[in-house]
Amino acid sequence: MGKRDKKQRHQPRRAAFHYTEEDEEGVGDGHYEGHSASKHTLSGEEEEEEEEEEEEEVVDGKEEADEYPSNDLPSKFLLYQQSVQSPKGDISYLQKFFLMYVGGRLPLHLQEDFCGTALLSAEWLRTDTRRTAVGLDLDVEALNWCMENNINKVGADGYSRMSLFHGNVLQPLEAKLVKFEPQELIRKVSLTENKDNLESDEVESTLAEGSSSSNDEKYLRNHLLPARDIVCAFNYSCCCLHQRSELVLYFKHALDALSKKGGIFVMDLYGGTSSECKLRLQRRFSNFTYVWEQAEFDIIERKTRISLHFHLQKQQKKIRHAFSYSWRLWSLPEIKDCLEEAGFQSVHFWLRKMQDSRDIRKTEGFGVGRDIKYEEIKHFQQQDSWNAYISCGGSGGGRGGGERDGGEGGGERGGEEGGGGDGRGGGGGGGDGGGGGRVGCEGGGGVIFKN
């Protein structure tokens, strides 16, 4: 990462996805990718060995020390994207749901709430130059990282087709547009196209210092945007909302953002008996190991704390608590009731049974279970672990100030475009980088063991 990232790491910050005072005790952001087939359950003896190893080379995800130069450790946002997220699979299902439940045109305008590094939005833009994306998140660091590392890979027009807003999903109209100087954007695109220059020249980003003028701030409420065809909240980001009133309010804002011509809201959720107990899982990749740690589960408040760690083989270091989340695990009936109270109609559940966590001792990468598809169901027996997409339709408009209907792409219908998906298993936790920030749970949307 560049100088800006190194400087920002020394600035303490709270988890971006916490909305209430009691939640602000958390550390950073983190996502749970639905206990999927790619988990590794550690025995008590193995856990003790892990704890002993962690006493040696440990880097705190919240604040990394000066002794580790910025080019020594990979960005936690990048690690999150590589280990947690599968944007192509998500987009495949988004298209499928839209064509099934709305139809009549292709979806072109996406809003990614709790977007983090907005990897999903960036991937959305890549496949059709008519597409636009709106990202909303509480973590400005994750949003800036997106501008420097994700949108620039879409191409020069990516900056004009994506609008990133820094703010709370519960008060979206007050979110501020993340802006960048044109000369800085040109420089970033130029550097991306010339890898040699990128490696040899040190360019100090001005993004952290705020290249936008405080006197010329734009807010979502007065920013002209196409009405969205799809609004999504992935990586189990809605679990960051602990109160029913907050959940209903968020769903109302999502509904308001949708096109009057018809649109869909899609979120993900995880559950199962293994989601309500202490759990430690890991997934090994070629250069690092991703660890999902789930604390004890409070059955009264239905809350747990999730932490994501990364063990770096090459550097022989560990980034502990790269992302941490305080989650309330909502049930499917609760979600359905809140969606209907907010004004949505026709709530659809698409579920996928995950492999039993007790049977999975070790996994490598994303190989296991990727061929398992989601199916629309009306009844589903409890399992050790499951993941779900929840899709519902509604016509928005009304309160989403500054919005206009975007009618491009009308008249086209699809069947093939949305089919199948990438066999992604499970939801994610949206955290810092992915997620999430979420509003997202900082950064990058995605949950730990989805695939």
Round to whole Å and give the CA distance between 383 and 221: 43
pLDDT at residue 420 tops 70: no
Instruction: Report the pLDDT value the prediction gives residue 364, as an integer from 0 to 100.
Output: 58
DSSP letter at 167 equals: S
- CA neighbor of 443 nearest in space, from 8, 34, 114: 114
Instruction: Report the pLDDT value the prediction gives residue 57, as an integer from 0 to 100.
Output: 58
Confidence band for 213, pLDDT divided at 50, 70 and 90: very low
170: in domain: no
Q: Can you tell me the mean pLDDT for 206-216?
A: 42
156: in domain: no
pLDDT at residue 123 tops 70: yes
Q: Which of 71-85, 227-241, 317-331 has the lowest mean pLDDT?
A: 71-85
Round to whole Å and give the CA distance between 299 and 296: 9
Instruction: Report the pLDDT value the prediction gives residue 194, as an integer from 0 to 100.
Output: 52
Instruction: Report the pLDDT value the prediction gives residue 61, as an integer from 0 to 100.
Output: 57
151: in domain: no
* CATH number of the domain that residue 90 is part of: 3.40.50.150
Tell me the CB-side half-sphere exposure of residue 151, using CA atoms within 13 A: 29
CA distances to 58, 195, 424 from 374, in Å: 38, 39, 9
Instruction: Report the pLDDT value the prediction gives residue 183, as an integer from 0 to 100.
Output: 46
158: in domain: no
- Radius of gyration of the chain measured on its C-alpha atoms: 20
DSSP letter at 211 equals: S
Round to whole Å and give the CA distance between 78 and 148: 12
261: in domain: yes
Instruction: Report the pLDDT value the prediction gives residue 211, as an integer from 0 to 100.
Output: 39
End-to-end CA gap in the chain: 27
Q: Which two three-digit tokens encode residue 158?
A: 């990516």
Instruction: Report the pLDDT value the prediction gives residue 275, as an integer from 0 to 100.
Output: 92
Quick one: angle between helices 119-126 and 87-101, nearest 10?
A: 70
For residue 205, what are the contacts with CB-CB under 8 A and spacing of at least 6? 2, 3, 4, 144, 148, 184
pLDDT at residue 49 tops 60: no
255: in domain: yes
Sheet holding 436-438, edge to edge: 433-434, 440-444, 436-438
200: in domain: no
Confidence band for 363, pLDDT divided at 50, 70 and 90: low
The larger pLDDT score, comparing residue 252 to residue 437, is at 252
pLDDT at residue 366 tops 60: no
Round to whole Å and give the CA distance between 127 and 37: 29
Instruction: Report the pLDDT value the prediction gives residue 73, as an integer from 0 to 100.
Output: 86
pLDDT at residue 44 tops 50: no
Find the domain containing 107 and state its range. Answer: 3-139+226-444
| Number of structural domains the chain divides into | 1
57: in domain: yes
